Structure 1
Amino acid sequence: MTTTAPERSDTLTRAADTLIRDPRRLRRGLGWLLVVVLVIVVAGAGLVLTMPSSAQHETYDPELPGPEGTQALAEILRQEGVTVDVVRSRSDAEKLLDDRTTLVMSDPYTLSDSAAQAFVDRAHDVVLLTVSARMLRILALGSYSSASSPARAAADCDVPTFARVGSIAPGQLLRPDPGVTACFGDRSGAAVLLSDDGARPRAIVDGSGLFTNARLSENGNAALGLALLGAQPHVVWYVPSYADSDRADVDPQKSLADLTPGWVTPAILLLMITALIAAVWRGRRFGPLVAETLPVTVRASETMLGRARLTAKAADAAHAAEALRAGTITRLAKHLGLAARADGGSVADAAADRIRVDRAACRTLLTGPLPATDAALVPFARSLTDLETAVEDAVRIERSTRD
């Protein structure tokens, strides 16, 4: 079959007409949006400077659900019937201490040596969850050990509550003083040191790899925590804070604004005011639309013919066929009362039912393979035209009959 030049030009012209879309105009408020974003960024920077720094988070906090907290261990104690009181003031903790209470804490770094000594002396049982040379000396338990930590260690000591703990992966090893019991290791280095001085038990352990929320479920860590902290029916868990310090060399925790020069905050405020003034000064004013005469008028037909020539020059029959099919589907959907974005299969079924033809033939035309050559493009376009004409005639006849 030979394709004539007029037929090809008409087919490509219709394809280009279907491809033409009205360009969407960008919103004129884009400039204002950029200004607002800039102001928000500057304001956020100012808030960061004035808010307290959160770079340092308290570890071993029984109310902290993060990986470094110990909330899971506190909940296990409560499930086992142990009352757990979390306090952040030394005076409040001292009021709760009695002979049936275990004092649990990390290194009270905000307290002086004398204050820390007086604090632990008021407690009946003491469990320290972090290791420091100062607290080892105050509790008279031992010193750091230079021995390397084994991958696994069992209790290996005469402490009945550790019988069911199993093995743990110890952290920092400690060398016990005379009269101090070493567990989960030996006299050269153990993970847990315990002392019973006049029925006042003291214990110290490196809990960083044992009792945090991230590590509690490993090995026998939970059982060890319950054995150490659950000996008494009441636990007072003291969380050190700078506000509770009695040391002259420890200042309360400062915000980032306290650590920056005094001129930074006024400079940020000045920048914010400058940005706002610039936005009002240079921002786009929105008023009524003004009709302007275009310097050049380009008819739609010229654009359509130009695109048709480009498509013909490229010899892209499949692209032209796809455009023709898309336009036909859109117009058929409108005639048949379907949604504007109805797929080809739905349109084909509706069109076949309306003109009473085979559904498979309509589906092949509207959803099947596209022609790859100019010779196949022309009959394909004619078939689309015939289908569209038949549907239009059927719809017109139904409307006239109904009227």
Structure 2
Amino acid sequence: MSAAAARTATPAPARSRRKAALGWVALVVGLLVVALVGGTLVFGGYAQRAILDPESAGPEGSRAAVRILEQQGVTVTVARDRSAAERALAGGGATLVMRDAPMLSDEGLRDLAGRAAHVVLVEPRSRALDILLDGSALGGFSADLATSPECAVPAAANAGTARVGELLRPGDGVEGCYPVDGEFGLLHSVAADGETVTALDGLSVLTNTALPLDGNAALTLGVLGQTDSVVWYVPSLSDADQGTTAPTLGDLTPDWVTPALLLLLTAALATAIWRGRRFGPLVAERLPVTVRATETTEGRARLYASSRDAAHALDELRRAARSRLGRLLGLTARTSPNDVADAVAQRLGADRAQVRGILVDDTPRTDRELVAAADRLRDLEESVRAAVRTEGTTR
């Protein structure tokens, strides 16, 4: 070997150590990345624009409602904090649309609502209803029900039938629309100075998915488009009144906790590097024996028989039979047992309850009942096979 070749050749142990070092470096870098991402999410906050967000085009966003208002000449201003909402409402005469704002105090909520000519609560909660709608409260829930208004509120009367979800109970002097079992899908109150407060479940009316249904679009335009200017307030965690901000986790823990956690993490990482062992290459090992599938099946059957667990044994037979029936009927592997039974009953024109008993419900208590249930399973599967073959032949 020449001197140049000797200089360029790298011993195998050196290459192995280099690969091991690179592996540990990659592990440390990965842990640091995970720590940085986790710290950002936990301590830096995470803002997701989705539910009832006026700029979200997702199913639960409300950008379609904003576009309808703008097409009718209404100016929509999205305020993502309290100060921006107050500046937008400074001119007076605007409609304030707001979600629930738990960070605002009662006085802060009254102050912000008092700056608008009309207030629309699109995510009403008990506190806001009690303060702004004279003791109104949350009621029950009616899942996506189309209801007629049955009230004299112009926006609701002109819209006609609309969807309701969360129901509300009106306070004194508050008018309710879209009644369901004594509760209402929309509440409306008019103050002495002409200011109105309206509350409705925005998830059932204002979202991009719900807006095209029934009279939801007309109701949205009537309630939100009462003025030429709409201020859509999206609450922020920084909107709390001075002195009422909830303490953070860092404020509640002693000063020594963070250094102690960092020290523990450093010690754990050092221990992992010190005591870590690199796995060697995979070694192929031949099994000493090969067991046939029939022997395994017979062994499990003897275990079931010795334990006298007829129900468990029948469950295994049913699971296999439902799988084969599902393939015969073109069902997916995720189809539930009840759905498989319904499909079999429909194909055979048999009683649905009887087929469900064979494939799902019947519980044997003795070996004799287990054998009878197995025979019924076999007969049912043969009937389905015959029906499928007959249908394929006729075609």
Match of 1:193 in 2: 187
1:339-365 C-alpha deviation (Å, 9 max, x unpaired): xxxxxxxxxxxxxxxxxxxxxxxxxxx
Distance 1:270 1:166 in 2: 68
Q: Is 1:48 matched up with 2:37?
A: yes
Distance 1:68 1:259 in 2: 41
Match of 2:261 in 1: 264
Q: Is the 8 A contact 1:84 1:234 kept in 2?
A: yes
1:239 to 234, 252, 255: 234
Percent identity over the alignment is 36
**Counterpart code for 2:85:** A
Distance 2:78 2:114 in 1: 19
1:117 to 86, 90, 110: 110
Count of paired positions: 255
Match of 2:325 in 1: none
Q: Is 1:159 matched up with 2:125?
A: no
Match of 1:211 in 2: 206
Distance 2:134 2:215 in 1: 23
Distance 2:185 2:161 in 1: 11
Q: Is 1:88 matched up with 2:83?
A: no
Distance 1:144 1:36 in 2: 58
Match of 1:223 in 2: 218
Match of 1:377 in 2: none
Q: How far does residue 221 in structure 1 lie from its aligned partner after superposition?
A: 2.9
Match of 1:140 in 2: 133
| Change in CA separation of 1:159 and 1:63 when aligned onto 2, cut-off 3 Å | same
Extract unaligned runs of 5+ from structure 1: 1-26, 284-403
Distance 2:62 2:118 in 1: 19
Q: How far does residue 179 in structure 1 lie from its aligned partner after superposition?
A: 3.0
Distance 2:113 2:240 in 1: 15
Q: Is the 8 A contact 1:67 1:214 kept in 2?
A: yes
Give the TM-score taking structure 2 as reference length.
0.54
Give the TM-score taking structure 1 as reference length.
0.53
Distance 1:76 1:102 in 2: 15
Distance 1:254 1:81 in 2: 46
Q: How far does residue 194 in structure 1 lie from its aligned partner after superposition?
A: 0.9
SS at match of 2:41: coil
Q: Is the 8 A contact 2:119 2:196 kept in 1?
A: yes
Q: How far does residue 175 in structure 1 lie from its aligned partner after superposition?
A: 2.0
| Change in CA separation of 1:172 and 1:48 when aligned onto 2, cut-off 3 Å | same
> 5 Å matches for 1:358-373?
none
Distance 1:41 1:210 in 2: 45
Extract unaligned runs of 5+ from structure 2: 1-14, 279-395
> 5 Å matches for 1:158-177?
158-177=152-171
Distance 1:148 1:109 in 2: 21
| Change in CA separation of 1:52 and 1:182 when aligned onto 2, cut-off 3 Å | same
SS at match of 2:177: strand
**Counterpart code for 1:155:** P
| Change in CA separation of 1:39 and 1:232 when aligned onto 2, cut-off 3 Å | same
SS at match of 1:158: coil
**Counterpart code for 2:120:** V
Q: How far does residue 105 in structure 1 lie from its aligned partner after superposition?
A: 0.6
- Asked which structure has the greater CA Rg, the reply is 1
> 5 Å matches for 1:2-401?
31=20, 34-53=23-42, 57=48, 59-97=51-89, 98-144=91-137, 146=139, 149=142, 151-185=145-179, 188-197=182-191, 198-246=193-241, 248-251=243-246, 261-262=257-258, 263-268=260-265
Q: Is the 8 A contact 1:174 1:191 kept in 2?
A: yes
Q: How far does residue 141 in structure 1 lie from its aligned partner after superposition?
A: 4.5
Q: Is the 8 A contact 2:125 2:138 kept in 1?
A: no
**Counterpart code for 2:131:** I
Q: Is the 8 A contact 1:243 1:252 kept in 2?
A: no
Distance 2:248 2:22 in 1: 38
Q: How far does residue 42 in structure 1 lie from its aligned partner after superposition?
A: 0.4
Q: Is the 8 A contact 1:88 1:240 kept in 2?
A: yes
Q: How large is the RMSD of aligned CA atoms in angstroms?
A: 3.8
Distance 1:252 1:242 in 2: 12
Q: How far does residue 196 in structure 1 lie from its aligned partner after superposition?
A: 1.6
Q: How far does residue 218 in structure 1 lie from its aligned partner after superposition?
A: 3.7
1:201-227 C-alpha deviation (Å, 9 max, x unpaired): 111112133323444344433332222
Q: How far does residue 168 in structure 1 lie from its aligned partner after superposition?
A: 2.9
| Change in CA separation of 1:153 and 1:245 when aligned onto 2, cut-off 3 Å | same
